[in-house]
Every structure is written in C-alpha cells, then in structure tokens.
Structure 1
Amino acid sequence: MGPVGRRSMVRWGAALLAGAVVGLGAAACSSDPNSIAAQAQSGDRKGYISGDGTIEQIAPAQRGNTVALTGTTLEGEPWSMKGKDGTVVVVNVWGSWCPPCIEETPELQKAWKQVQAEQLDVEFIGVDTQESAESGLAFQKANNVTYPSLAYDGGVPLLALQGKVAATPTTLVLDREGRVAARVSGPLTATTLRGLIDDVLAEA
C-alpha cells in the first residue's frame, strides 16, 4: 500500500474512533430513566445488567406509594422502613461480584460519613443481591463499609422496590414519606449522591 493509501486508512480509522466516542457520550447523557447498558460479563464473574449512570428525579406530586422495605441485615439483625417517617433513606442495591458496585463503594461510604458528620436526618441501607450473607459481609468488612445492608434472602427485599431496580448497582433516594424521589441506574459519585440527598432534604 502506498503513502496515500496509508493516510486514507489512518483518516478512516480516526473517523471511526471519533464516531464511537460520540456514541458513548450520547448513551451516557440519555434522558431515558430506563436506559440500560448492554449485558456485561467480566471473566469468571456472574453476568449482570449494568446501568449507564442515568439519573431520574421524580417531582413530589408524581411519586408513588411508600416503599415497604424490610429484611434481615448481613449481621442477622431485623431492619424495616417502619419508624423511618421524616427520614430520607438511601437504598443501594449491590453485589460484591459486580465490578461497578466495587467501583462506587468508596463513594457511597464517603457520602455516608458526610451526612453523619453533618448530623443530617438521613439513613443508608444496602440491599445485597445474588450472593450469600457471608460473602456480602466479608466484602463490607474488607471495604470498611459502616452502614448496614440487607441480605439477599432469595430476592425478597428487592420485591419492595416497586420495579425500580433494573440494573446493578442501583441507588434510590426515598423522601421523608418513604417514596422514591430519585434513582441512579449504575455507579455514582459521592458528589452526585449528596446533590440528590440535599434536593430531597430541601423539600418543604
């Protein structure tokens, strides 16, 4: 192939790469709250549906019923939304087998420490999925996670989340009445989570 042909191939390759980057950017900025990335598989990890980080905020007048989440923590203690009236509750669905969950764990812990330090009326509860309580607890201890998580229990806790969890991880912010006020499908940062929490706390 001559120099001109090689230059044409380079330009074609660059254009193709640019198109791919634009495509990825469009997916990340999608306004569809149910936009879910392709099925993912990583080595010997289980297959899972990974969200693209899309954020959905729901106006108070459009929120559904109170989330009746209940279960047993990884430590074997009972936990329930009962008695949480007036409290903003952050629910994070995760699994130690899920790479994006591992990625966001320090961010969740950072946000949790912030709301504790500021003595805000906010609680965090994780919902571990598709693994034993022993595996989930070992992961939490290894990563210094200090808020509780509910054990998988065959997926029973997930049934209370009103079909809002189509990806792992998913984070829900529940308002003071226990209704879903915001959802992030995919990994998030502490900054994003604090913004969603603060928005709900600011509601009259």
Structure 2
Amino acid sequence: MTKTVTNRTISALALACVAALGLTACSSDGNSISKQANQGSDKNYLAGDGTLAQLSPSQRGKPVTLTGKLLDGKAWSTKDHSGKVIVVNVWGSWCPPCKAETPDLQKAWTKLKKKGVLMIGIDRQEGPQTAAAYLRSAGVTYPSLRDDGGAALVALQGKASATPSTLVLDKQHRIAARVSGPTTDTTLIGLVDDVLKKG
C-alpha cells in the first residue's frame, strides 16, 4: 500500500520514533517502517531503505546553511565553502547501518576530494569523544559535526529523517540528491558526478 508522506508527517514521525525507541534510526518512508514493525524484528531501530531522490537544478529549494562545531570543537559552516559541492552524511556510531556504510563513505571521500568536493558528517545522539573514537578506529578522515540537539537536522530542511541519510548539496548548497538509508561508494560517487555535470 502506497502512502503520501508530507514534510509535517515526516517531522512528526521522526520525533515519534525517537521518543518511543530512544536510540533509533527513523525512516521517512512510512511503508518501510510498517514493514519492519510487522516483521517483529528485535533490532531496536527503524532504518531508511536506501531510497534515492535526485532533483534537477530547477526543482531544488533554498540553499542549506549548515553551521556547528566539529568533534574537535572547531567551528564549521557551509558559508565558508561557497561554490563547493558538499556531501552531508547523518550518522551515529550506535547505528548498525551507519557503521556498515562507513568504509564505503571513506572510499568515496578519497575519490571525491580529488574533484574538489567536500564531505561532512553530522553525528547524532552521542558525545563528541565517543564519535571521534569510533571515526579513528574506522579510519575515517573527513570531519564530522558534533550532536547539537537536532539544529543541524532542521537546517537540512526535513530531508534527513532517517539515520543514516546522505545529502548532496550543489555549488549553491541546495539539496540536489538524497539517499534515505545506507549507501555505497559507487552510488554516492554517481550522485555527486551528476550534480557536478548539471551544476
């Protein structure tokens, strides 16, 4: 059964998942959540299903202004990187799909940075020391913003309700592509290459 999901529904669903399950990964895809719930899984989180969305330049909304502190405490903002395509990944070391996609994200990063693309993580629901320790152990070399109580997710215009979620911001920092759920290096590089070609 297909459902139409509005931005208001997405926000309410995300908040409900967090409140009900504590440490959770909540999907914006109502059918995906229902399917997982009906299966009676005991994995204690609800994840996005990897759904892809791409927007042509004429369909993209307002630019994203993402600001915060990195895990090491330094300030970071998209405003300091004008004209750059930026990949944003929402993650947490408590999230199994996030951990599963980490090697692919690092692999994609090593290729994308050669094209002048930036990558930034947004850590959720844990302290910066825990997050930094995980990234060191996983060999991740791109930076991450520390958990800020959800302000960064608001800045992403409701487009990152699942954990993990990956967004590609174009050179004007408009959302040009999104993966709701885990992704692979091949998929992510393909999405970024499309954005680089189309502007």
Partner of 2:123: 128
Give yes or no for the alignment of 1:148 onto 2:146. Answer: no
Give the conservation status (yes or no) of the 8 Å contact 2:28–2:162: no
Deviations 1:140-189 (A, max 9, x none): 01101000000002222211110001110000000000000000000010
Give yes or no for the alignment of 1:68 onto 2:65. Answer: yes
1:35 Cα offset (Å): 2.5
The normalised TM-score by structure 1 is: 0.77
SS in 2 for 1:154: coil
* Residue type of the alignment partner of 1:121: G
Give the conservation status (yes or no) of the 8 Å contact 1:130–1:155: no
SS in 1 for 2:47: strand
Partner of 1:112: 109
- Identify unmatched segments of 5+ residues in structure 2: 1-26
Q: Which has the larger radius of gyration?
A: 1
Runs of 4+ in 1 over 6 A off after TM superposition: none
Partner of 2:56: 59
Change (3 A) 1:73 1:41: farther
Give yes or no for the alignment of 1:139 onto 2:134. Answer: yes
SS in 1 for 2:63: coil
* Residue type of the alignment partner of 1:141: R
1:41 Cα offset (Å): 5.0
Q: Which has the higher strand share?
A: 1
Partner of 1:177: 172
Residue in structure 1 matching 2:76, options 74, 79, 84: 79
Task: Measure, in 1, the Cα distance between the counterparts of 2:98 and 2:148.
Answer: 19
Task: Measure, in 2, the Cα distance between the counterparts of 1:64 and 1:115.
Answer: 24
Q: State the aligned residue count.
A: 168
Partner of 1:89: 86
Task: Measure, in 2, the Cα distance between the counterparts of 1:96 and 1:191.
Answer: 22
Residue in structure 2 matching 1:195, options 186, 190, 196: 190
Task: Measure, in 2, the Cα distance between the counterparts of 1:122 and 1:103.
Answer: 23
Segment drifting more, 33-42 vs 143-152: 33-42
Give the conservation status (yes or no) of the 8 Å contact 2:52–2:178: yes
Deviations 1:7-59 (A, max 9, x none): xxxxxxxxxxxxxxxxxxxxxxxxxx9525326753xxxx4431000000011
SS in 2 for 1:91: strand
Task: Measure, in 2, the Cα distance between the counterparts of 1:41 and 1:112.
Answer: 33
- Identify unmatched segments of 5+ residues in structure 1: 1-32
